[in-house]
Amino acid sequence: MTQTVPVELDDVVGGSFFHREFHRHPPALAPRYKSSIARSPKLALVSIPNSLSELSGPLFGHDTIGPDDNDLTVNFAKPGSRPALGERIIVHGRVLDERGIGMSGMLVEIWQANSGGRYRHIKDGYAAPLDSSFGGCGRTITDSQGGYEFRTIRPGAYPWPNGINDWRPSHIHFSLFGTGFAQRLITQMYFEGDPLIPQCPIVNAIPDPKFVEPLIARMDRHNTIPMDARAYRFDIILRGRRSTQFEGQAG
């Protein structure tokens, strides 16, 4: 499931470190996204260099990843019980740097709502039922080419109290860790063809519609499992001109 990503010349000129282009990312304060009003910083941001303790740890252990941690259809189900309910899908792709080189050994975590659009969270009051066989989270380690894969179910859309009739599109949250827990990026993945994407206030906080495209997973018929699961491809680019949009970036 690997794929060569074309490298733009501008991405490899100027040294080994490539600054993030913050204008591509959603601003910290986006008034139509009501939660950002309370969460956004009130003072100018200050850049603080990493200390030795942040660079050297804490670290995650590869031996803590279980064999079913990346299969959300079964990793929460009790032994002998049915798998999770919903449309079965495979989400796969590569984690890449700004040069198109795969990043191996990265911890990738996901969390999502169930097929009815409800999270297994004490504060989720949506009326959709919980699925006793679906926990809604998983994790894996990228391979030598930066590849990752999850088996899960397609999450449902759900209403949220941002506006009178706001609905979140079907989406999956991604968290990526580098060599330690202090190196973390968070983003969201959407599904090709979902009509709710252009209506979502969170998506519309991204300053240019063309920057939304890297967040939309495309259906991948080449890796679909017949009579079982459709596949979607979602590559994540960490830096550079083609960087994926991440949460918590200063606009």
Q: CB of 238 within 8 A of CB of 98? A: yes
**Which member of 24, 33, 94, 119 is catalytic?**
119
Q: CB of 163 within 8 A of CB of 176? A: no
Dist CA 222 CA 196 (whole Å):
26
**Which member of 99, 120, 173, 184 is catalytic?**
173
Torsion of CA 124, 130, 132, 137, to 10 degrees: -50
Q: Indicate if 232 belongs to the active site.
A: no
Dist CA 103 CA 96 (whole Å):
6
Cα separations in angstroms, 188 against 82, 129, 170, 245: 28, 23, 10, 8
Max CA pair span of the chain: 56
Token pair of 24 as six digits: 């591509």
**Which member of 24, 118, 171, 242 is catalytic?**
171
Which of the 8 DSSP states describes residue 211? G
Q: Indicate if 19 belongs to the active site.
A: no
Q: Indicate if 148 belongs to the active site.
A: no
Q: How many CB atoms lie within 10 A of CB 104?
A: 13
Q: Indicate if 33 belongs to the active site.
A: no
Amino acid at 145: Q
Q: How many Cα atoms are found within 13 Å in the side-chain-facing hemisphere of 7?
A: 13
Q: Indicate if 168 belongs to the active site.
A: yes
Dist CA 73 CA 130 (whole Å):
14
Rg, C-alpha atoms of the chain: 19
Q: Among all residues, which ones are annotated catalytic?
A: 119, 158, 168, 171, 173
